[in-house]
Structure formats: structure tokens, C-alpha cells
Amino acid sequence: MLAVAHRAGNSLSALRTAAELGVDVLEADVHAFRGRLELRHSKSLGPLPWLWDKWELTSTSAPQLQLRELIAALDGRSMLMLDLKGPGGVGVQVAEALHQRLPGQPVLVCSRWWPGVDAFAGRPWARPLLTARNRGELQRLRRRVRESRPPYGVSVHRSLLTAALVTELHERVELVLTWPVNDPAALDEVLSRGVTGVISDEADILRTVLASR
């Protein structure tokens, strides 16, 4: 059972906290923006000079953590999981950056935009995961994993998860992750359905997963 610290790679302080817990995987959101690989969950507003996330607005000129800075801060004890955000060339850019800065080191790469993940084909150190957030994406994911070369794993939103689905997916992929798992009831629910990893924002949940092994 993998303990995945959700968005822990989006700031150096969160990274340190998750590393101190001893989590298995540090997750970060990667955007390709104006020639930079920025780590943030907030989204751009096209030509407008703002980034937004829920009710928060941030100027695009505000400093953002860069992928190269995150890589420099890693201590090697936890695996990195990069969530590629948006269409376009982010997958190609991240693949090249990892090839240069983390040569040969295994990295989990996931996205709801699957062409971004497909950009890692032929790179043996990459562990591709396909993400499904809604029912339409889930149906496409089920078809995809039945292909002759399924991905290494999948990440499925908890609202879509059933024991039968997890059993079906395990027949074709190595990892079945789910999110969000932020309270004890949610953790009990997903563990009973047979997932191989939980993605959580909560330190107590991650501690519980680690202590249960």
C-alpha cells in the first residue's frame, strides 16, 4: 500500500513535511508556462495576467517553484509523481527535463490528458499512470487498459471506485491509486475495495497507511 502525499511537491515546505513522514511518493502538479516548468495547482487565465485556484487569484509574475528546484531538493527516499497539467507539450518538456536531471531514476507520471503521458513512451524509467476524474474518462480508461500494452497504473477518483472496478483494473495494471482520501472513513472505504495506494493531503492519513504495513 503506497502512501502518496498529494501536492507535496508544489512547495518546498510541503516537500520537507512529507519527507519527514517517510511517504512513499511525493506528488506535484506540473504546468508548462512561458518556457518554464512550474509546480502549482492553480491554472492560468489565458492572456490575462492571473492564476486561479478555487477562490484565489495570483499574479502570473509571482514566483513559482520550478521543476529543477524540486529535483534539487529531493533526498532520494521517496519516489516522485508528476501530474502533467493541460494539453500541449508539457509531457515532452517534462520527459526531457527528467532525462537530464534525474537520469534513469524511476518516476511516476500521470495526467487526465493522456497524450502527455504517452510522451514518455520508450523511456524505461517512466512509470505511466492514466487518470480518470469523471465517468466519461473512466469508460475511456477501461477501454485503454484492455489494450495489448496497458499503462503501469491508473489513478481513479474515489467517487468512481468500486471493488469490482479495482479487481478489473488489477488484472491489467500494476498500481491502482485513488484520491481524495482525507479522513478515516474514506481510508477504510478505499482499503476495503483493494486499491494499492492512496493519495492524501492529510498527514494523519498518510501516517496510518505507513503504520499499517
At residue 169, the pLDDT reads: 97
- H-helix or E-strand containing 116? helix 114-118
Q: pLDDT tens, 16-34?
A: 999 999 999 999 999 999 8
Prediction pTM value = 0.94
Residue 159 is given by DSSP the state G
CA distance 177 to 165: 12
Q: Which residues pair with 4 in a beta bridge?
A: 25, 199
CATH number for the domain that contains residue 115: 3.20.20.190
- H-helix or E-strand containing 133? none
Cα separations in angstroms, 79 against 95, 162, 193: 16, 27, 24
* C-alpha 71 chain-centroid distance: 15
At residue 59, the pLDDT reads: 84
Chain mean pLDDT for the chain: 94
The answer to whether the beta carbons of residues 129 and 108 sit under 8 Å apart is yes
Q: pLDDT tens, 37-51?
A: 999 988 887 778 888
Looking at the structure of the chain, the number of domains it has is: 1
Predicted confidence band of residue 86 (pLDDT cuts 50, 70, 90)? confident
* Residue among 72, 78, 80, 82 at smallest CA distance from 39: 82
**Contacts with 108 (C-beta within 8 Å, 6 or more apart), sequence order:** 25, 79, 80, 81, 82, 127, 129, 152, 153
Q: Where are the beta strands (DSSP E) in 40-174?
A: 43-45, 48-53, 56-59, 79-84, 107-111, 126-132, 153-157
At residue 42, the pLDDT reads: 83
Domain membership of residue 16 as a residue range: 2-211
